[in-house]
Structure 1
């Protein structure tokens, strides 16, 4: 089961589709093996970049069952939904299939600190003994969760064991949370998102690793390993080699299509399909990706 000691890289997994948009179940096993080979210490499925909102309930259950059966690392399942009944239902499926925990983002309707705290109190009550991750991603949800509210949630909800930190700018939030835990607040795991763009700084501020996606997940695993070993210089050199592609893949609206294109190119999935509605990559974009990959490989060869 997921707990407060979780660290490393919980790779946000893509959901593979066939060219006609059908779920590609064969690629799920291939993708899991790829992520594990590249150093994932955990997997997160049915997240925002996993196109969870485009899946049927049956498809979601199929993804959960296949990934949990294949993976030998903890699997976190995104169960965010508009209502608690849907959250509870998907959580039951996830835990029955062997997930280590679930992740819940706030609905965009929350506006005040009181509403946010009340919402997560109810999440804690409804999920019972299931360990869960608080996803703090205001750029997408529109819900700004202040540090004090996170600390109150952690204090009142003992099964909240992890923060998926995706605030931006949010480095000061990490520092404040770690300062609070040093002063006696319950310490939970902090894994960070935003495509790994700030992974080095996040680790320096006290994060335990990453929970995000990138077409080269080994970069995140190696950076976390090097930073944990105290070799900041080597971590920076490695990160710098990948940074142009990290930046390019982080484009809102287009990033998932770029990531899937590269994952297919690397053999992690069979097809780069983004389920409709989704973007198509132009010839110019594909050419830019190829240039960035070539320059990345040249930089890595020089390390």
Structure 2
């Protein structure tokens, strides 16, 4: 079994949250989604994230969804839960709930209220006090948090956080940052942690792997793309990794459009049979007929290119 610790690697897929056409939480479809992901070789699941519409769930729904995912996974891969919150009472409560249900660890991003390096580091000192012995992932996603964490402050956090086992790197541009953090651990200046990358459905995944990333933690309606790219890179077939990535890139790019990205992903997952409905809770985008036509064309072209690659 894969473990959520500094040796974690592969693909920790950021999942959507399935709803019925009426907007209710769909636990039966949750089972279908988990099976879909595991059948495609993911090594972990990350739930209650931004693309999982976590902010649109009630506290009881978040617990019910976590319980269903953990139960369906059955210990086959780690399940990581997003618990980011400006307040530590809420973070601590949700962490206790999900860990009690059987989650493997949690993920925390800084709130938009911290700005200086000292403020950021001080915030994560309080995260350590709140989480205690729970293994956790540091999420660096300036696009959503508006918080810029330099390599120096990330290294500072890692040095003071014995239970931080992973960095979710999704700064953009961020290849130089990734290289600097990995080089610091290679020199023994800081403990080695797993680095999984996000960056818009893995839009820079091959380059990030070459810079020292251990895999991906992001979402895409074709999780097997990330699984196969990471596997090819790990066995030293870098050109194959790039060829596979290139085949999926147009659709991955389309799925990352601001505003409609979630609608595109849920539409595709519905088309692939992973979820019963493409419904997203308000506020939510809707696809136009032209959007659907674009998607259908991109899927056809992707299938053609994959067939050529064998």
* TM superposition shift of 1:82: 2.3
Equivalent residue for 1:75, pick from 71, 74, 79: 79
Which blocks of at least 5 consecutive residues in structure 2 are unaligned? Answer: none
* Residue of structure 2 in register with 1:261 after alignment: 267
Q: 1:11 aligns with which of 10, 13, 31?
A: 13
- Unaligned 5+ segments in structure 1 are none
Q: Which residue of 1 aligns with 2:230?
A: 224
Q: TM-score, normalised by structure 1?
A: 0.99
**Are positions 1:28 and 2:30 aligned together?**
yes
2:276 to 263, 266, 270: 270
Q: Distance in 1 between matches of 2:183 and 2:246?
A: 29
Q: CA deviation at 1:208?
A: 0.3
1:163 corresponds to = 167
Which residue of the partner structure matches residue 191 of structure 1?
196
Displacement after TM superposition at 1:155 (Å): 0.4
Which runs of at least 4 in structure 1 moved beyond 3 Å after TM superposition? none
Q: 1:245 aligns with which of 246, 251, 270?
A: 251
Which secondary structure does the structure 2 equivalent of 1:190 belong to? Answer: strand
Q: 1:119-138 CA deviation, whole Å, 9 max, x = no partner?
A: 00100111000000000000
The aligned runs of 1:1-303 (5 Å cut-off) are 2-71=4-73, 72-184=76-188, 185-194=190-199, 195-303=201-309
Cα distance per residue 1:36-58 (max 9 Å; x no partner): 01111000000111000000000
- TM-superposed CA distance for 1:146, in Å, is 0.6
Return the TM-score normalized by structure 2. 0.97
- How far, CA to CA, are the matches of 1:105 and 1:47 in structure 2? 11
Cα distance in 2 for residues equivalent to 1:143 and 1:69: 35
Alpha-carbon distance between aligned partners in 2 of 1:165 and 1:254, rounded to the nearest angstrom: 23
Tell me the CA shift for residue 178 of structure 1: 0.9
